[in-house]
Structure 1
């Protein structure tokens, strides 16, 4: 049912997510949906959590593949952060729905908490990436990992929001510039291997 709710949100937007539409999509009764989700708010929170988990999963896959291929942190960060950008039809729709959720969060504390927790967790992971980059020499040793993570986060979120309004914006180039500023040096481990 949660997958059906997520699919309705992606296909129809948040206004299309109702107990009845989710029941139809899942092929179950309205009563069964109500059994698992006590309110529309609970249903919407689950849709948001699942949408964010999909992005996290794609980013984790990029990191795993990058580590297997001995990619630089700069490369992995650029590819991972690009998952938040509206670069193809699926990600455009995903970004639109995330924006809808952020607008909804202004008046819904449950949705706002999901957004805050997810954003905070992503920034924490980014700070860990910066610390790893400091260890291998890609990031300067004197930068503050939390600050760099916050800068990368607000940059990618801003690029994504702007690209939804102006698809001609060269978002991947702007993101690459930001990532290169955060990780300006080559990886010392790669140099040692060569």
Structure 2
């Protein structure tokens, strides 16, 4: 997850500008400080302008969490496409993977979810604040459940595409998501230990492990 930016269709003006301010306040001060007043000040708008779009703080938080979910999904698609087009090295030839290569797409999403990149940690911390608050906020909990259900389904599909003989892609997707959650929490709470390099190694190890969960339907299946 990278910083929210204006690409002509993203976080600008009105409702979207306010959502960006919500994320900024949470990133800098924590979710407890994300009041309507604080968000209005950060966005440079009146309290009434915030309340025009979000009648309550809960609605405001739900809107911001939904926006982060959409942002991650869009970035994962963009990163997968960019990675497929990038040369292997300066002066090297272009990669042979297509933007739809399932392993490339899965790895890209895993790196984002595990907060491997330093720039991902800021928004990752916001997301973890949302997840923690979802324990007592059903609106946030619903957004999280929906997002993770989509991810589980997508991960299971990608794993079955990568390993056509895999007998348990759904279980593998569950294991992968649980692993990524743990890495992300560690990246936020103990970054001196869970460095980007260590996180990257664990992501790669998790990808290897889930591709072998419950084996394959036949010993002749190709990896």
Tell me the TM-score normalized by structure 2: 0.73
Alignment of 1:30-109 (within 5 A): 30-66=47-83, 69-71=95-97, 73-109=102-138
Gaps of 5+ in 2: 1-17, 86-94, 213-221
SS class of match (1:83): helix
Post-superposition offset of 1:35? 1.1
Deviation readout 1:127-147 (Å, 9 max, x if unpaired) = 1212321xxxxx151322211
Post-superposition offset of 1:117? 0.8
Runs of 4+ aligned structure 1 residues displaced above 6 Å come to none
1:18 to 1:90, Cα distance in 2 relative to 1, 3 A: farther
Gaps of 5+ in 1: 134-138, 190-194
Deviation readout 1:49-98 (Å, 9 max, x if unpaired) = 11222222211112223455443533432232111123344322222222
Tell me the TM-score normalized by structure 1: 0.83
1:64 to 1:89, Cα distance in 2 relative to 1, 3 A: closer
Confirm or deny: 8 A CA contact 1:124 1:146 kept in the other structure: yes
1:143 to 1:62, Cα distance in 2 relative to 1, 3 A: farther
1:142 to 1:83, Cα distance in 2 relative to 1, 3 A: closer
Deviation readout 1:29-54 (Å, 9 max, x if unpaired) = 10111111011100010111112222
1:125 to 1:70, Cα distance in 2 relative to 1, 3 A: farther
Report which of the two has the higher share of helix.
1
Measure, in 2, the Cα distance between the counterparts of 1:182 and 1:126.
10
RMSD: 2.4
Equivalenced residue count is 183
Post-superposition offset of 1:115? 0.9
Alignment of 1:160-171 (within 5 A): 160-167=184-191, 168-169=193-194, 170-171=198-199
Measure, in 2, the Cα distance between the counterparts of 1:152 and 1:163.
16
Alignment of 1:103-122 (within 5 A): 103-122=132-151
